[in-house]
């Protein structure tokens, strides 16, 4: 079992040179953040990730969680790891200082979060969901509710959950049947929610559930849904009428309890779960999107993290596994090279390059969205539009990528990858949930096409595509075969996405079903191009540092090599996806099953 080493050098390169720490608004106490100040944050986080969280990842996968009489016991070491995580102040990194947070930018927080998810994704899901709950309460709850819940949720003394899904209402939240009945003190909640991550656990004394429910007499459909805070324990210390009635047996993330939660009618004598209305009645779905959009970017970041972990695991194995002889003429004359490690074989090199380049592209794309979050929070309207556009790209592309990369990691291990003891299979199993939850990637594609492009007639997209034109200009004026190759491939992808975008409008005008039919290949074309754009920026930054004799030349040349490989091997896939938008809509709609 290999160790996990957070890629701090790679992270700092993206933060400082590709995305740009210089663009982050000043911190009220720390002032302008630079690479040195961010490194002082990342290094202790890396220590906790590698030495505490990573060490219980495999054992947690084997042991899982246990439920007995409504009480969930987490895997060995997880509760103590959470204690260390909170004592280090890590739960408060990005939150508002008004309620005890540290107020650090999302750009820095994403780098820190990547470590938790890469070290131990099952563990990292707990703070991820809490983060979204805090965001929703901060944005929409009354001052009294904020004062009651945020300080302890930000410190980590309490954790938060998101309760949307019901047995009959998965992605179709209009079908939610959980009820909220008025009483003299507010509301009582009755209903069942499923797939609730960390709905019950032993990390903390209290768990704060954010629950979608329909107030009696509210309109049908999504217009009648409200959002409620439903704590496990009430302020007087009494137990609320809410209980975990089951935990799921899953393909992966075994150490993360995925719970069925019963609100009301648990004991028959408490009269329903006490719930506190967040914001206005019937505005719950709008409020919950604050939490969901936050979580969607974080899930994309999880994809980057688990792909990085899988890559490290595969690289270590490839460097150690001796198999076959080298085909290289330069090695043929050496008497001691009859057999070599598989890292010398061309196809294994190809697979490792594919893994590394996709991870780097995903990281840069996710961090770019994080910077936009920071700028939007500071009032930048254009940044708000850009992060809205990037959210489905980050969520979909990075999570699909994670499954591909983790699968490649199993392949590099050969037959041993199919054996659980090597650990490679866990990353594949864990990654497989990522394209599904927080809105399947098909839903992300529909969100991109209908809400982010067609709704505003592509205005935000037009602005974003200008960034491609600027980078293409920089590449064209740069010297060297590597950058010329990147330019040629990025230009083809950019042109294909442009044609696909125009055709999307034509299809939508004729029949919305046609636009829906090609929404996934359209997203893959645009998102793959966006990832290629970030890799082009990475190559340009590395070349500039090399020209000025700054930085580690081995590290920087590797960045250029990875960018070139991505352009040669992955941008053509994005280009093809965009081109298929022009031809496949009617074929898909004509199909019957």
E strand segments, 79-178 = 158-163
- pLDDT score for 200: 98
Percent of the chain with pLDDT over 70: 97
119 near 303, Cβ under 8 Å?
no
Residue 127, token pair as written in the block: 């703070």
Q: Where are the domains of the chain?
A: 8-157
Residue 80 neighbours by CB distance under 10 Å = 12
**How does pLDDT run across 251-281, given as a tens digit for each residue?**
999 999 999 999 998 765 668 999 999 999 9
Asked if 248 is an active-site residue, the reply is no
- pLDDT score for 267: 62
Superfamily of 8-157 according to CATH:
Acyl-CoA dehydrogenase/oxidase, N-terminal domain (1.10.540.10)
For the chain, give the mean pLDDT: 95
Q: What is the pTM of this model?
A: 0.96
Distance CA 589, CA 365 (A): 32
DSSP state of 27: B
**How does pLDDT run across 106-137, given as a tens digit for each residue?**
999 999 999 999 999 999 999 999 999 999 99
Check 438, 469, 513, 592 and give the catalytic one: 438
**How does pLDDT run across 32-58, given as a tens digit for each residue?**
999 999 999 999 999 999 999 999 999
**How does pLDDT run across 7-41, given as a tens digit for each residue?**
999 999 999 999 999 999 999 889 999 999 999 99
DSSP result, 448-484: IIIIIIITTTTHHHHHHHHHHHHHHHHHHHS-SHHHH
Cα 482 to Cα 215, 362, 486, 487, 546, distances in angstroms = 60, 20, 6, 9, 14
- pLDDT score for 1: 60
Cα within 13 Å of Cα(224), Cβ side: 15
175 near 210, Cβ under 8 Å?
no
- pLDDT score for 329: 67
Q: Does the pLDDT of residue 351 top 70, yes or no?
A: yes
Residue 530 neighbours by CB distance under 10 Å = 26
313 near 153, Cβ under 8 Å?
no
Centroid of chain to Cα 12: 19
**pLDDT average, residue stretch 77-83:** 98
Distance CA 251, CA 535 (A): 33
Lowest mean pLDDT among 73-77, 268-272, 485-489: 268-272
- pLDDT score for 199: 98
């Amino acid at each position: 079992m290999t160790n996990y080493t957070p890629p701090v050098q790679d992270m700092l390169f993206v933060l400082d040179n590709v995305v740009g720490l210089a663009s982050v608004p000043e911190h009220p106490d720390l002032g302008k953040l630079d690479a040195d100040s961010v490194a002082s944050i990342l290094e202790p986080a890396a220590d906790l990730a590698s030495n505490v969280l990573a060490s219980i990842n495999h054992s947690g996968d084997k042991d899982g969680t246990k439920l007995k009489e409504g009480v969930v016991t987490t895997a060995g070491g997880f509760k103590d790891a959470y204690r260390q995580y909170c004592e280090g102040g890590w739960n408060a990194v990005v939150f508002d200082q008004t309620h005890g947070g540290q107020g650090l930018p999302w750009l820095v927080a994403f780098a820190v979060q990547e470590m938790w998810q890469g070290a131990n994704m099952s563990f990292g899901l707990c703070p991820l969901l809490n983060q979204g709950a805090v965001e929703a309460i901060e944005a929409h709850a009354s001052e009294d509710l904020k004062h009651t819940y945020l300080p302890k949720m930000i410190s980590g003394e309490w954790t938060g959950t998101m309760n949307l899904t019901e047995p009959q209402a998965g992605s179709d939240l209009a079908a939610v049947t959980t009820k909220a009945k008025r009483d003299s003190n507010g509301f009582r909640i009755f209903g069942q929610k499923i797939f609730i991550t960390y709905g019950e656990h032993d990390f903390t004394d209290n768990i704060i559930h954010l629950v979608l429910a329909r107030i009696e007499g509210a309109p049908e459909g999504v217009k009648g849904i409200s959002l409620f805070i439903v704590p496990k324990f009430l302020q007087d210390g009494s137990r609320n009428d809410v209980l975990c009635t089951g935990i799921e047996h899953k393909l992966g993330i075994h150490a993360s309890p995925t719970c069925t939660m019963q609100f009301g009618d648990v004991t028959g004598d408490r009269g329903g779960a006490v719930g506190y209305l967040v914001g206005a009645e019937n505005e719950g779905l709008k409020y919950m999107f604050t939490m969901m959009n936050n979580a969607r970017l974080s899930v994309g970041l999880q994809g980057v993290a688990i792909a990085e972990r899988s890559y490290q695991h595969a690289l270590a194995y490839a460097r150690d596994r001796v198999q076959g002889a080298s085909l290289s003429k330069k090695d043929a004359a050496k008497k001691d090279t009859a057999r070599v490690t598989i890292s010398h074989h061309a196809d294994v090199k190809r697979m490792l390059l594919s893994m590394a380049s996709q991870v780097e592209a995903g990281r840069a794309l996710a961090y770019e969205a994080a910077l936009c979050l920071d700028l939007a929070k500071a009032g930048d309207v254009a940044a708000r539009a850009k992060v809205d556009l990037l959210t489905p790209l980050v969520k979909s592309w990075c999570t699909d990528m994670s499954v591909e990369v983790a699968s490649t990691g199993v392949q590099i291990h050969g037959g041993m990858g199919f054996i659980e003891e090597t650990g490679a299979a866990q990353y594949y199993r864990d990654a497989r949930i990522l394209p599904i939850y927080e809105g399947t990637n098909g839903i992300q594609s529909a969100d991109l096409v209908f809400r982010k492009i067609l709704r505003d007639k592509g205005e935000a997209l037009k602005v974003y595509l200008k960034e491609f034109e600027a980078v293409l200009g920089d590449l064209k004026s740069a010297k060297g075969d590597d950058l010329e190759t990147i330019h040629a491939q990025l230009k083809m992808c950019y042109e294909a996405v442009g044609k696909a975008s125009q055709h999307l409008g034509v299809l939508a005008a004729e029949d919305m079903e046609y636009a829906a039919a090609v929404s996934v290949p359209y997203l893959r074309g645009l998102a793959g191009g966006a990832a290629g754009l970030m890799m082009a920026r990475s190559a340009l930054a590395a070349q500039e540092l090399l020209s000025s004799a700054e930085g580690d030349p081995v590290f920087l040349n590797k960045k250029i090599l990875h960018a070139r490989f991505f352009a040669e091997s992955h941008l053509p896939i994005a280009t093809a996806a965009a081109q298929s938008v022009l031809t496949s809509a009617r074929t898909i709609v004509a199909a019957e099953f």
